[in-house]
Structure 1
Amino acid sequence: MANNYMAKQNSEYISYIIGLSLAISSSVFIGISFIVKKKALKRVVLEGNLRASSGGYSYLKERLWWLGLLTMGIGEGANLLAYAFVPAALVTPLGALSILVTAVLSSKFLGETLHFVGKVGCVLCVIGSIILIVHSPKSDNIKTFSELVVRLGDTLFLSYVFSIIILFMVVKYSLVPKYGKTNITVYLIICSAIGSLSVVFCKAISLGIRDGINSHESDMFIFWLIFIVAIAGIIIQINYLNKSLDIFNSNIVTPVYYVMFTTLVIVASGILFDEWIYMQIGDIIGCAIGFIILISAVFTLNLYKASHNIRYKNNIT
């Protein structure tokens, strides 16, 4: 009995290390991809070609840009796999590390000075991530895709899905026409709400791939249904995020979206996967503190980016 318990503990620990490593490496790869693509875009401008922001596509001829795209693909793939090993409540907030990686590497490879505000943001990001890693739930109560299939019919989760659909319809048809171009939260509510479902469904896909769903024909049908719904959700999410970025400053969109999206992901994954049910109150408080620190880090790092962009524009003019 004791040996079985130890074997289970070791298995959960190994899964946690794998998932955590994938989540961190995902942020590193995505952060690097921004730098690589930025260098490619700067090279396009130096060569006298039309800028991407002005409708130019010369960057497609740059191998460096494609390298950046490949690096981002690797990062997103690692992120998807991470959901199969550790709770979404850990993976999603750690996405803030990609902003940290971008800030540090931009000062080294793009000649962007990392001033005091940026350094404070970097320190906060590291502290918040460490606190979150220490206190976050280490494993899910749902271990297999078959268990998840049963859980998908839970009344509480179906109520959450129904609430998201109602919220989407109300915002899309009532708020978007009136306030979409003046209120930054309107489009981001849709992105975050639909995105929270996309994440839990991506986690479900990860479990299905890990388990190699071939035991039950019904499981295969549900797997592909979830896959289609997740893709549709991602498309909707990207569409409305682009609308928001087209109207509002990215330095405001990024932190607001991070807060709304991550909060709803934690709620959705907590409902479906019972990630918080067996946690001690001290760990729950620790996760909340870590998340708040990460929020502060994201806002601080975007403040640094905003001040750099102002200096960059002044130098051009």
Structure 2
Amino acid sequence: MGILPESEWASWSMFFEGTFSSSWYSKHKTELLGVLLAAASNFLISISLSIQKCAHLRLARQAELKLFYRSKLWWYGAVLLGLGELGNFTAYGFAPIALVAPLGCVSIIGSAFISVLFLKRTMRAADILGGTLAVVGTYLLVTFAPNVPHELTARRVQNDLVSWPFLVYVILEIIIFCILLYFYKRKAVKHIMVLLMMVAMLASLTVIAVKAVASMITLSAKGKMQLTYPVFYIMLILMATSCVFQVKFLNQAMHLYEARAVVPINFVFCTTSAIISGVIFYQEFQSAAFLSVFMFLFGCLLSFLSVFVIAVNKKEERLQVPYIDCGCIPGQKLTGKIQPDSYGSCYGTLNNKDDSGKSQS
């Protein structure tokens, strides 16, 4: 009872031996390492974000106000977040951009499931459906991922930087970015699409630089020194600069719009721009068959749908503060707490004798 027949064991062992000892595994084991590292890192990021969210909720329930960076629980989450981002950075040294970038859905899907444990939320049908779509999409991404040369040397990065396809791509991106920035700064257009398109354009430069820096560090660790080339430091500066401005515009979008709108749109835009930049700069999918490209794009579509299913159906959490402490309102004599008037421009029972006197005079 419960033990498979010897013939069935033999068939299963032959299957696994044929799978993991095949030429496919020998050819793709480096990419497989990058995939596992990226998936584990994104899952670690989801754990860290849940821990930090839990720390903020605990601080909000306390009677005495306490800064979040004085919470040990918040720092545990911050350390895990740093480790996850470091692992994601390292994954670019082993796997193509087109494969690592869509795996960001693991972080979003993981956050939905981990929040059930950390934040005591109920499991929703949208979470299960989104998780299923993510698993199927990830399987297709890994199976039909592009095959690119493992060694990305500094000399190859230098040649790619001055190639005509990349130069045309960068010029077009700069023109479009400047147009969007003009509307953002001069016309005060802060639409969610404008903000997240600028984030995506910066993200395309970020992943190009991250891939180059991570690959050159990986080769240097193996004994093939690449850190003496000036292009390494050029890409390092590009990576840091693009990250800073990317975070700036993303924070602006999160401030103006709900997270359930920002998260899925940002994921789709950034992943699409990352895949395009990988195709143009690193010539990924150069020798891929049409069926492989189609199935890979179908896997990306499933990953996008999984994020939309979870994020769009997620209720926005707001901290309920029914009263406003009058001590926070300057220029008023304070006797206690008041109920804010959500339909007017003033706050309930504030004494506005001075203002009325001024209006009568």
Q: TM-score range by the shorter chain?
A: 0.7 to 0.9
TM-score, structure 2 normalization: 0.77
Q: 2:39 aligns with which of 13, 24, 28?
A: 24
- Per-residue Cα deviation, 1:106-143 (whole angstroms, up to 9, x for no partner): 11221111211222112111111111111121434763
Contact map agreement 1:26 1:79 (CA 8 A) in 2: yes
The whole-number CA distance in structure 2 between the counterparts of 1:300 and 1:10 is 33
Q: 2:143 aligns with which of 134, 137, 140?
A: 134
One-letter identity of the residue aligned with 2:45? I
Contact map agreement 2:219 2:226 (CA 8 A) in 1: no
User: Partner of 1:115 in structure 2?
Assistant: 124
For the residue of structure 1 that corresponds to 2:199, the secondary structure is helix
Q: Structure 2 matches for 1:1-317, cutoff 5 A?
A: 12-50=27-65, 58-140=67-149, 143-178=152-187, 180-181=189-190, 183-212=191-220, 220-305=229-314, 307=315, 309=316
Structure 2, gaps ≥5 residues long: 1-20, 324-361
Contact map agreement 1:129 1:290 (CA 8 A) in 2: yes
User: Partner of 2:346 in structure 1?
Assistant: none
Contact map agreement 2:130 2:306 (CA 8 A) in 1: yes
How has the CA–CA distance of structure 1 residues 216 and 33 changed in structure 2, closer, same or farther, with 3 Å as cutoff?
A: closer
The whole-number CA distance in structure 1 between the counterparts of 2:112 and 2:321 is 20
The Cα shift of 1:8 comes to 9.4
The range that moved more, 218-227 or 191-200, is 218-227
Higher-Rg member (1/2) = 2
- Per-residue Cα deviation, 1:62-121 (whole angstroms, up to 9, x for no partner): 111111011111111111111111100010000011011111111122111121122211
How has the CA–CA distance of structure 1 residues 16 and 315 changed in structure 2, closer, same or farther, with 3 Å as cutoff?
A: same
User: Partner of 1:54 in structure 2?
Assistant: none
User: Partner of 2:332 in structure 1?
Assistant: none
Contact map agreement 2:208 2:277 (CA 8 A) in 1: yes
The Cα shift of 1:46 comes to 2.3
How has the CA–CA distance of structure 1 residues 177 and 297 changed in structure 2, closer, same or farther, with 3 Å as cutoff?
A: farther
The whole-number CA distance in structure 2 between the counterparts of 1:193 and 1:11 is 35
Structure 1, gaps ≥5 residues long: 1-5, 51-56
Q: Report the count of equivalent residues.
A: 302
The Cα shift of 1:219 comes to 5.3
TM-score, structure 1 normalization: 0.88
The whole-number CA distance in structure 1 between the counterparts of 2:322 and 2:142 is 42
Divergent runs of 4+, >6 A? 6-10, 213-218, 312-317
CA RMSD of aligned residues (A): 2.6
